[in-house]
Amino acid sequence: MSTPPAAFEATSSDGVSVKDIPQGAATSALLAASPLVEGITGRYFEDAQEAEAFVEGLRRGVADYALDPADAARLWELSQHLLDGGALPTR
């Protein structure tokens, strides 16, 4: 593949599109195997391209909190803790 496929156009007003199996697998396959995205990390992709910012009322895009470095660090630390056999912290 020399270029990623064009976005799968959402046909409904809420931003949801119906995909067949190859379309549904395209983003995962692109990120797993394509040299086009080699070295790219820490980004959110949908429809075989980097996601746009979330827009209220649409079920697509990446929310600001999903890109927050402090949240990412806390999630990483919690994941490491759990993998090391630690219990879930209580609130």
Cβ atoms within 10 Å, residue 47: 21
Distance CA 1, CA 31 (A): 12
**pLDDT the model gives residue 71:** 93
Judge whether 86 and 77 are in contact, CB under 8 Å.
Answer: no
Beta bridge partners of 62: 53
What is the DSSP annotation of 30-42? HHHH-GGGTT--S
For residue range 61-91, list pLDDT tens digits in order. 899 988 899 999 999 999 999 999 988 777 6
Per-residue pLDDT, averaged over 27-41, amounts to 93
Instruction: State phi, psi for 49 to the nearest 5 degrees.
Output: -155, 165
- How much is the mean pLDDT over the chain? 83
pLDDT band (50, 70, 90) for residue 42? confident
